[in-house]
Structure 1
Amino acid sequence: MRVKFCGTAGLADMQCAIDAGCDAMGFIMGVTYQSSDFVTPKDAAAMIRHLPPFIEPVAVTHLQETEDLIRLVRDSHCTTLQIQDSIEPAEMDAIRDALPHLKIVKAVHVMDRSAITAGKRYEPYADALILDTRTTEKIGGTGIPHDWKISATIVANSTIPVLLAGGLTPENVAEAIRIVRPYGVDVHTGIKRDGVRNPERTLAFAREARAALPDDKVFMGSVR
C-alpha cells in the first residue's frame, strides 16, 4: 500500500513523513481556495533538496492554467503534479508534452455518483486519479470522508491507479482500504495534533495503512 503525506510545510513535517516510511510527499502550492500548510515553489525546491532517494515529491495545486502548472513544476522541482481543480483533459496532454518525464495525478471529488463519470473522463490523460472530498470553500484538506462505496466502484472499473484521500485518519484508514482497495492513500489533516503534523499519528497512519491488505488484494492499475 502506497502512502502519501500531504501539506509538507517545513523540515519537521518532512522528517515525520520520512520516519514513517512514506512513498510520496505533497507540497501545496498555487492556492486559490482555502488551504493550510501551503508553501512557495522556492520553499518546496529547498526542502526537496533534503529529500532522500525513492520518495516522490508531489506538487499539489489549485492552479488551472497550463503555463502556470508547467512553471510551478519547473520551479518546485517536483516530479509528480497533482491537479486539484478542474482542467480540460487536452491541457493535461500539453503539460505532458512540455514535461515528458512528469507524472500527472488528477483529483476527482466524490460528492455523488457523478464522480464515476468524472473519473472515466480523465483516465486516458492521467497517470493516476486521487479521490478526494470538497466543500464550497475547500477542494482538499477538508478532513471530511466521502462515500467509500462510490470510491470502490471507481477503483474497480479504473484502468489506472487510484489513490484514496478525504478525511482519512489512523483510526479509519484500514477500514477505508478494505472497502475501496485503492493503489494508495493520502492524508493531510488526519495526522495533525493541535494543528501540527504529529510524529506518532504519522507513524500510526502508515502502519495501519500497510497492514490493512496484502499487496495482492490491492488494485494496481495498468502500466502506461
Structure 2
Amino acid sequence: MRVKFCGTASLADMECAVDAGCDAVGFIMGVTHKSSDFVTPAEAARMIRRLPPFIEPVAVTHLQETKDLIELVKESHCTTLQVQNIVEPTELDAVRDALPYVRIVKAVHVMDVSAVETAKRYEPYADALLLDTRTPEKLGGTGLTHDWNVSATIVAHSAIPVILAGGLTPENVGTAIRKVRPYGVDVHTGVKKDGVRNRERTLAFAREARNALPGEPDR
C-alpha cells in the first residue's frame, strides 16, 4: 500500500514522513483558499534537495491555467503534479507535452455518485486519480470523509491507479483500505496534533495502512 503525506511545510514535516517510510510527500502550492501548510515553489525546491532517493515529491495545487501549472512544476522541481481544481482533460495533455517526465494525478471530489462519471472522464488523461472530499470553501484538507462505497466503485472500474484521500486518520485508514482497495492513501490533517504534523500519528498512519491487507502484495 503506497502512502503519501500531504501538506509538507517544513523540513521537520518532511523528515517525519520519511521516517514513517512514505512513498511520496506533497507540497501545497498555488492555492485559491487559505492553507496553513502553503509553501512557495522555492521553499519546496529547497526541501526537495534534502529528500532521499525513491520518495516522490508532489506539487499539490489549486491552479487551473496550463502555463501556471507548468511553471509551478519547473520552479518547485516536483516530479508529480496533483491537480485539485477543475481543469479540462485536454489541458492535462498540454501539461504532459510540456513536461513529459511528470506524472499527473487528477483529484476527483466524491460528493455523490456523479464522481464515477467524472473519474471516467479524466482517466484517459491522468496517470492516477485521487479521490478527495471538498466543501464550498476548500478543495482539500477538509478532514472530512466521503462515501467510500462510491470510491470503491471507482477503484473497481478504473484502468489507472486510484489513491484514496479525504478525512483519513490512523484510526480509520485500515477500514477505508479494506472497503475501497485503493492503490494508495493520502493524508494531511489526520496526522496532525495541535496544528502540526505529529510523529506518533504519522508513524501510526503508515503502520495501519500497510497492515490493512495482510498477506497481499504491495500494490
Deviation at 1:214, TM superposition (A): 4.1
| C-alpha distance in 2 between matches for 1:215 and 1:78 | 33
| Deviations 1:146-170 (CA, angstroms, capped at 9, x unpaired) | 0000000000000000000000000
In structure 1, the partner of 2:105 is 105
Aligned equivalent of 1:40: 40
How far, CA to CA, are the matches of 2:136 and 2:188 in structure 1? 19
Instruction: State TM-score, norm by structure 2.
Output: 0.98
Q: Distance in 1 between matches of 2:34 and 2:62?
A: 10
The aligned residue for residue 177 of structure 2 is 177
For the 8 Å contact 1:130–1:165, the answer to whether it is kept is yes
Does the residue aligned with 1:167 lie in a helix, a strand or coil?
coil
- Report the alpha carbon displacement of residue 215 of structure 1 after superposing the two structures with TM: 7.1
Match of 2:154 in 1: 154
Equivalent positions of 1:67-216 (< 5 A) are: 67-214=67-214, 216=216
Q: Which amino acid aligns with 2:111?
A: M
Instruction: Pick which of 139-148 and 26-35 moved more.
Output: 26-35
Q: How far apart, CA to CA, are the structure 2 residues paired with 1:102 and 1:194?
A: 34
Q: How far has the Cα of 1:35 moved from its partner?
A: 2.2
Separation (CA, whole Å) in 1 of partners of 2:38 and 2:215:
32
Q: Which amino acid aligns with 2:157?
A: N
User: Which amino acid is 1:120 matched to?
Assistant: K
Gaps of 5+ in 2: none
Judging changes above 3 Å, is the alpha-carbon distance between structure 1 residues 100 and 215 closer, same or farther for their aligned structure 2 residues? farther
Give the secondary-structure state (helix, strand or coil) at the position aligned to 1:124: helix
Aligned partner of 1:9: which letter? A
Cα deviation, 1:90-139, whole Å, max 9, x if unaligned, reads 00000000000100000000000000000000000000000000001100
C-alpha displacement of 1:217: 7.1
1:57 matched residue in structure 2 = 57
Is the contact made by 1:106 and 1:126 (CA closer than 8 Å) also made in structure 2? yes
- Counterpart-to-counterpart distance in 2, 1:156 and 1:209: 19
- Paired residues of 1:35 and 1:138 also in contact (CA < 8 A): no
1:7-33 deviations in whole A, cap 9, x for unaligned?
A: 000000001000000000000000002
DSSP 3-state at the match of 1:212: coil
Task: State the one-letter code of the partner of 2:10.
Answer: G
The whole-number CA distance in structure 2 between the counterparts of 1:214 and 1:54 is 24
Whole-angstrom CA distance in 2 between matches of 1:203 and 1:123: 32
Aligned to 1:21: 21
Matched residue type, 1:34: K
Where in structure 2 are the equivalents of 1:3-22 lying within 5 Å? 3-22=3-22
Asked if the contact 1:143–1:168 (Cα under 8 Å) also holds between the matched residues in 2, the reply is yes
SS in 2 for 1:104: strand
User: How far apart, in 2, do the equivalents of 1:118 and 1:214 lie?
Assistant: 32
| SS of the residue 2:124 aligns to | coil
Aligned CA-pair RMSD = 1.1
What is the SS of the residue equivalent to 2:15? Answer: helix
Per-residue deviation, 1:216: 3.9
Secondary structure of 2:82 counterpart: strand
CA distance in 2, matches of 1:215, 1:45: 38
Aligned-partner Cα distance in 2 for 1:217–1:22 = 17
TM superposition shift of 1:77? 0.1
| Cα drift, residue 36 of structure 1 | 2.5
